Amino acid sequence: MRDIQHFVNAAAAAGRSGRFGEVFDPNTGEVQARVALASVEDVDLAVQAAAQAQPRWAAVNPQRRARVMFEYKRLVEARLEELANLLSSEHGKVVADSKGDFQRGLEVIEFACGIPHAMKGEYTEGAGPGIDVYSLRQPLGVVAGITPFNFPAMIPMWMFGVAIAVGNTFILKPSEKDPSVPVRLAELFAEAGANLGMDLKGVLNVVHGDKTAVDAILDHPAIQAVSFVGSSDIAQYVYSRGTANGKRVQAMGGAKNHGLILPDADLDQAVKDIVGAAYGSAGERCMALPVAVPVGRKTAEAFREKMIAEIETLRVGVSTDAAAQYGPVVSAAHRDKIAGYIKLGVEEGAELVVDGRDFRLQGFEKGFFIGPTLFDHVKPSMKTYQEEIFGPVLQMVRAETFEEALALPSQHQYGNGVAIFTRNGRAAREFASRVQVGMVGINVPIPVPVAYHSFGGWKRSAFGDANQHGMEGVRFYTKVKTVTARWPEGDVTDAAFHMPTMN
């Protein structure tokens, strides 16, 4: 059986804990590898490597750091087919979706290629008599990222792309469910440096693990900042423990994204958009769209009829099936959790229109598959509406008016993303202005911002004051130093005991 090791100082590291986790093939349900689970000592060794490398890496000028990012992007793109198949084999998402996972991550690497410009400070000449003031951005030191199973390529690149480009060194703790891609990303980063004649040992390190590794990262005094993406309960834990230890923390949590369909919407297009956003990647996305809110009875009935017809055309298959819209979920435990939510929805009184629990794929009966599921007449008081299901389950919550529809995402505990489908520009503008959600799509079902903007939700979808990537990422991974300089001509001035001014 294949062993997946840590990656420290640009080389595989076996680890010292003696503990391992199982890595499954979600298509077959079989164990395909085991992954080393880090001890506190393993994390410390990785941090030591990063701390030793950081001054050397920070001293590399921004232009040369950008060249590493350019070369890194080239290497990942050259191996995209291989990498996407590797990702699909451990996660279960179809290969086309895995390629999108890499592409969205590489867009942040592209942004990081412009780091010489993003790192520029400000300068004021003559702020006072013979006095100039300037500011500059400097890296924090050693920083870390804790990433989820659902995007094992994109989210690590969102984090380490910006963090490393500004001069930090990085500890990545990916999900132990699909750990191979993060290791390959780190190997290719070391290769990018070698191709340019640069030793990047210790710059990007990967430690696998469970809560032991997470707590070791949150407690380590040499780690200056932690970025996290995962469930809201764990995000709150990471934020609380990390900040209590004096770290800068951004922690992105769960979601329950709504899609409002106004009576004037292009209904055929809205159905196409929502079916992809609800069921793509088996719903295992924090920016999935699991709640449809048709406004008015006529809209609801028409939407329901068209959605049922669309669901009937969906093809669920193994991750290598080019014709499949989505594949299995990541684990048997997660499949059973989703099935439990479907059962609970029925018990709560929602109408189960399409039931995906009995789906079986011929020849892959032990795979972690679950079919597309549709509920109607879901009420805001229901637990299945209030909580994140994270699976291929779409819930219809009917609203009579625009105001009633607007209140649903605004009052929900999560505030990650939301979408509105309409031809009415005024309604869309008012919705975007008033809705209490961090990312808004107007006729865009999954409003993940482009890399030079930033990603982040509100309420229990995000803890901390900084968003992911873009200039928000640059600010998160740097600290500002402001210098006030005077070059006297030789005359001695009297001591000043009052607060200095620039008069």
* Exposure b/e, 154-182, CB count within 10 A at least 16 = b: bbbbbbbbbbbbbbbbbbbbbbbbbbbbb
CB atoms within 10 A of CB 229: 27
Distance CA 295, CA 260 (A): 7
> Helix or strand or coil: residue 54?
helix
Closest listed residue to residue 101, CA positions, set 167, 23, 196, 174 = 174
- How many CA atoms lie less than 13 Å away from 254 in the CB half-sphere? 17
Distance CA 69, CA 268 (A): 41
Please name the residue ranges forming H helices in 361-424: 383-386, 402-411
Distance CA 290, CA 304 (A): 14
Taking CA atoms, 368 is separated from 281, 314, 325, 331, 373, in Å, by: 13, 17, 15, 6, 15
Distance CA 455, CA 174 (A): 19
Quote the distance between the C-alpha of residue 217 and its chain's center: 19
Closest listed residue to residue 477, CA positions, set 164, 153, 43 = 164
* Exposure b/e, 63-101, CB count within 10 A at least 16 = b: eebbbbbebbbeebeeeeeebbebbbbbbbbbbebbbbb
Distance CA 38, CA 449 (A): 34
Q: Which residue has the tokens 């789906």?
A: 359
Q: Which of 286, 382, 396, 397 is catalytic?
A: 286
Active site residue 286: yes
Residue 487 DSSP one-character state: -
Token pair of 114 as six digits: 């412009």
Query: What are the catalytic residues?
Result: 286
